[in-house]
């Protein structure tokens, strides 16, 4: 007696499974959508399915409105709960899992930032699938490119996971337009949050009026050659002249010249600006991993043998303490 009904539900179930759709987990600070979310949307478009964006947070409505304006976004799922403030991964994961339970997405994406890297592998474990990090190209819904060995090997990989969980290298995809779309907004389940196991204590964010390192068109980085934190002033002056962001090598961060969030490289930020100026940086493999996709690279170093000159379009063999002020002056002409 129940057979026809069961059959009906079963076919409905399989139908639902075949409806391919992609979820993008938005990054934001309760005020504005994170820039990397727009790059992630572009990657999601290349997969070619209907795109939903999940905005989870304590105060997500305003951000959801911004997400709804992104062209090609079909739906915006809004999960708002005071306990989602500060987006702790243990909590955001629950929201993503609720959304997945309801919608059966075939792909779940987030930007390869500290937020996305924190949340998505945890979601993958819960769904019992192997995730793929930091993709730089989409060939088909199951084939992607990513780099390994500090960018010295490029791997084309094919995922057979039942749900593809991917973090996206922001610099490898253009940012999607922020306006022009009109997605439907709906409330998403928050689920049962385990607030016992982790709590936010505080944060110290570096404040800067200069452009964001990862999205800047021009980046100027300093290394050990700068000799002190004070000497970074030379780079800031040049940066202000060019409207550039300022980065650093690991050596400069380790020596305490500048804070860690300025580090460019394999374990820091990956940048690919139009112009990258490396000042007093030797060019170790690990640093090159973070900037070698820049369109034009300029190196200023007094050591003619420094490896940085092997990737620089324009090398200037000079003492940076003379060359940088001269460059700032020349640009003022």
Partner 1 sequence: MPLCFTLLKDHLILALPEDGFRNVLFDTTICLALLVPLTCLCSSSVPSKKSTLIFSVHGPSVRTLITMKILVGVKRVVDYAVKIRVKPDKSGVVKDGVAHSINPFCEIALEEAVRLKEAKKASEVVVVSIGNAKCTENIRTALAKGADKAIHVEVDDKTAEKLEPFHVAKSIAELVKRDKYDAVFLGKQAIDDDANQTGQLLAGFLDWPQATFASKVEHADGKLTVTREVDGGLQTVKVKLPAVVTADLRLNEPRYATLPNIMKAKKKPLEKITPDKLGVDLTVQTEILEVTEPPVRQAGGFVEDVPTLVKKLREKGVIA
Q: How many chain residues interact with partner 1 (CB under 8 A)? A: 87
Residue 95 and residue 91: Cα distance in Å, rounded? 7
Binding segment toward partner 1, per CB under 8 A, in 4-12, 57-65, 72-80, 146-154:
146-154
Consult the annotation and say whether 28 binds a ligand: no
**Which residues 10-39 are close enough to bind partner 1 by CB under 8 A?**
none
Q: Assess 137 for contact with partner 1 (CB under 8 A).
A: no
Q: What is the dihedral of CA 212, 214, 220, 224, to 10 degrees?
A: 110
> C-beta of 316: minimal distance to partner 1 in Å?
6
Concatenated DSSP letters of 113-147: SHHHHHHHHHHHHHHT---EEEEEEEEETTEEEEE
Q: Is residue 193 within 8 Å of 81, Cβ to Cβ?
A: yes
Q: Assess 130 for contact with partner 1 (CB under 8 A).
A: yes
97's CB contacts (< 8 A; 6+ apart) are 123, 126, 127, 191
Residue 155 and residue 94: Cα distance in Å, rounded? 31
Q: Is the CB of 245 or the CB of 323 nearer to partner 1?
A: 323
> C-beta of 166: minimal distance to partner 1 in Å?
11
Which tokens sit at 126?
């819960």
Q: Is the CB of 73 or the CB of 284 nearer to partner 1?
A: 284
Q: Assess 195 for contact with partner 1 (CB under 8 A).
A: no
Nearest 5°: phi and psi at 208? -155, 140
Q: Assess 156 for contact with partner 1 (CB under 8 A).
A: yes
Nearest 5°: phi and psi at 257? -65, -40
Consult the annotation and say whether 181 binds a ligand: no
Consult the annotation and say whether 266 binds a ligand: yes
> C-beta of 219: minimal distance to partner 1 in Å?
11
Residue 81 and residue 44: Cα distance in Å, rounded? 26
* Token pair 């092997």: residue: 310
CA distances from 99 to 6, 79, 129 (A): 25, 10, 17
Consult the annotation and say whether 91 binds a ligand: no
Query: Vertex 46, ends 42 and 48: CA angle to 5°?
Result: 115
Identify the residue among 185, 302, 311, 321 touching partner 1 (CB under 8 A). 311
> C-beta of 187: minimal distance to partner 1 in Å?
25
Binding segment toward partner 1, per CB under 8 A, in 3-11, 45-53, 75-83, 203-211:
203-211
Q: Assess 296 for contact with partner 1 (CB under 8 A).
A: yes
> C-beta of 307: minimal distance to partner 1 in Å?
10
**Which residues 78-117 are close enough to bind partner 1 by CB under 8 A?**
88-90, 93, 113-115, 117
Identify the residue among 7, 154, 184, 187 touching partner 1 (CB under 8 A). 154
Q: Assess 292 for contact with partner 1 (CB under 8 A).
A: yes
**Which residues 253-282 are close enough to bind partner 1 by CB under 8 A?**
253-254, 259-261, 266-267, 269, 274-275
**Which residues 58-77 are close enough to bind partner 1 by CB under 8 A?**
none
Which tokens sit at 6?
């069961």
Consult the annotation and say whether 287 binds a ligand: yes
Binding segment toward partner 1, per CB under 8 A, in 72-80, 154-162, 171-179, 221-229:
154-162
Query: Vertex 322, ends 297 and 282: CA angle to 5°?
Result: 40
Q: Assess 161 for contact with partner 1 (CB under 8 A).
A: yes
Residue 12, judged by CB atoms within 10 A of its CB (0-12, 13-18, 19+), counts as exposed
- Pick out the residues of the known binding site: 224, 249-250, 263-267, 280-287, 301
- Pick out the residues of the known binding site for FAD: 224, 249-250, 263-267, 280-287, 301
């Amino acid at each position: 007696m129940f057979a026809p009904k069961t059959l009906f539900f079963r076919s409905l179930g399989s139908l639902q499974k075949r409806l391919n759709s992609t979820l993008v987990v938005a990054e934001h600070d309760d005020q504005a959508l994170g820039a990397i979310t727009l790059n992630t949307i572009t990657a999601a478009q290349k997969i070619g399915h209907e795109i939903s964006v999940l905005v989870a947070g304590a105060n997500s409505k305003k951000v959801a409105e911004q997400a709804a304006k992104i062209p090609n976004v079909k739906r915006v799922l809004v999960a708002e709960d005071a306990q989602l403030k500060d987006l702790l991964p243990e909590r955001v994961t629950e929201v993503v899992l609720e959304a997945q339970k309801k919608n059966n997405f075939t792909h779940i994406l987030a930007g390869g930032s500290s937020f996305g890297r924190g949340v998505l592998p945890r979601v993958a474990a819960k769904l019992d699938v192997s995730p793929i990090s930091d993709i730089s190209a989409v060939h088909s819904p199951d084939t992607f490119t990513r780099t390994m060995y500090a960018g010295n090997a490029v791997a084309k990989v094919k995922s057979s996971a039942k749900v593809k969980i991917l973090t996206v290298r922001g610099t490898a995809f253009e940012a999607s337009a922020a306006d022009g779309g009109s997605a439907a907004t709906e409330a998403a389940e928050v689920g049962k949050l385990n607030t016992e196991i982790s709590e936010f204590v505080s944060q110290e964010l570096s404040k800067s009026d200069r452009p964001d390192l990862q999205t800047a068109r021009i980046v100027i980085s300093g290394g050990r050659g700068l000799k002190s934190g004070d000497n970074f002033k030379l780079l800031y002056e040049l940066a202000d002249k060019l409207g550039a962001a300022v980065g650093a090598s690991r050596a400069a961060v380790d020596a305490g010249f500048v804070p860690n969030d300025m580090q460019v490289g394999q374990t820091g930020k990956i940048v690919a600006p139009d112009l990258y100026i490396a000042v007093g940086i030797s060019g170790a493999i690990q640093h090159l991993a973070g900037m070698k996709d820049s369109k034009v690279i300029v190196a200023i170093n007094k050591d003619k043998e420094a490896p940085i000159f092997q990737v620089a379009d324009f090398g200037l063999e000079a003492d940076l303490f003379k060359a940088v002020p001269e460059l700032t002056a020349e640009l003022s002409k």
